[in-house]
Amino acid sequence: MSNKFKQLDDLAQTRRYSRQIMLPAMDLTGQERLLNSKVLVVGLGGLGCAATPYLASAGVGQLTLVDGDSIDLSNLQRQILFTEADIGQNKADIAARQLSAQNPTIQINAIAQFADAALLANLMDDHDLVLDCTDNLTVRQLINQACVSSKTALVSGAAIRFEGQLCCFTNQGDGPCYQCLSTLFGEPQLSCLEAGIFAPVVGVIGVSQALLALNILAGVGQVPWHQLQLLDGLTFDWRRFTLPRSADCPVCGGG
């Protein structure tokens, strides 16, 4: 893969992104940073379906989509990239097809398999940032371990019932990791299958993951690193907590 810095040298591309390039905080510099960014999205369920259209349309240069699951009728309530015609097909493949239609100028890779430690370790070095859009605690822990060992930034999202959770981790050895969060706040025990999910809650969290990822990649705004944000979809109350590092974290070493 070429490491050459890509520039906006094409009028159609400049026009495609004109409404965000005109934002002084973004400008051409921010847009070119996005164009040169590689984002790994693990999970193309409700969170991934909400986050990825914004990453693709904003011009993130390379998206890698990982999901081994196939589309079921019960997914369509919240997994808005999919239609009835896609039932039975792989989520990463169909998401890649939809996003490529939305923005054919970026590179989108679909990996139609469930993430495991080996796959994640392989992918880390070639990506600048990871979005955890999974709903499985074991995979969340594997993603965290891979991000901490490779020092890759992580934007973590989760949603269940009417509740959403969001947190950005630098993984540069200067703060807590996802495992620290699990230790302090307890680990989610139920999946959407068991507990249910109100679709717009997962949408708000997924779109927020995209917003934070774009801010981080373009160098825009102040990223709320290591701030746990909790959304209550019944009252629309957002609460924010500063996450401390867990002193005896088995993953990031604490301290």
Residue 156: which of 77, 244, 229, 232 has the closest Cα?
A: 229
What phi and psi, each to the nearest 5 degrees, are found at residue 247? -60, -35
Q: Is 98 in the site for Zn ion (CB under 5 A)?
A: no
Size of the site for Zn ion (CB under 5 A): 6
Q: Which CB atom, from 20 or from 179, has the smaller least distance to Zn ion?
A: 179
Q: Which CB atom, from 93 or from 132, has the smaller least distance to Zn ion?
A: 132
Shortest distance, position 178 Cβ to Zn ion, whole Å: 7
Shortest distance, position 213 Cβ to Zn ion, whole Å: 21
Q: Is 26 in the site for Zn ion (CB under 5 A)?
A: no
Beta strands per DSSP E along the chain: 38-42, 62-66, 107-111, 129-132, 153-160, 163-169, 227-232, 237-242
Tokens of 214: 């774009």
Q: Which CB atom, from 58 or from 180, has the smaller least distance to Zn ion?
A: 180
Binding range to Zn ion, per CB under 5 A, among 41-49, 90-98, 134-142, 246-254: 246-254
Q: Which CB atom, from 47 or from 154, has the smaller least distance to Zn ion?
A: 154
> Strands 227-232, 163-169: parallel, antiparallel or unpaired by DSSP?
antiparallel
Shortest distance, position 171 Cβ to Zn ion, whole Å: 9
Shortest distance, position 243 Cβ to Zn ion, whole Å: 9
Counting Cα atoms < 13 Å in the Cβ hemisphere of 63 gives 34
Q: Which CB atom, from 124 or from 199, has the smaller least distance to Zn ion?
A: 124
Q: Is 228 in the site for Zn ion (CB under 5 A)?
A: no
Q: Is 252 in the site for Zn ion (CB under 5 A)?
A: yes
* Cβ(155)–Cβ(213) below 8 Å: yes
Q: Which CB atom, from 65 or from 251, has the smaller least distance to Zn ion?
A: 251
Shortest distance, position 251 Cβ to Zn ion, whole Å: 5
Shortest distance, position 147 Cβ to Zn ion, whole Å: 11
Q: Is 243 in the site for Zn ion (CB under 5 A)?
A: no
Measured distance CA(19)–CA(89) in Å, rounded: 35
Q: Which CB atom, from 159 or from 251, has the smaller least distance to Zn ion?
A: 251
Opening angle at CA 109, ends 219 and 145, nearest 5: 65
CA distances from 9 to 12, 21, 35, 107, 219 (A): 9, 14, 12, 17, 21
Rounding to the nearest 10 degrees, give the CA dihedral for residues 224, 230, 236, 238: -40
Measured distance CA(89)–CA(112) in Å, rounded: 10
Under 8 Å CB-to-CB from 179, ≥6 apart: which residues? Answer: 141, 144, 145, 246, 249, 250, 251, 252
Shortest distance, position 158 Cβ to Zn ion, whole Å: 17
x/- mask, Zn ion, residues 164-203, rule CB under 5 A, reads -------------x-xx-----------------------
| Residues of this chain that bind Zn ion (CB under 5 A) | 177, 179-180, 249, 251-252
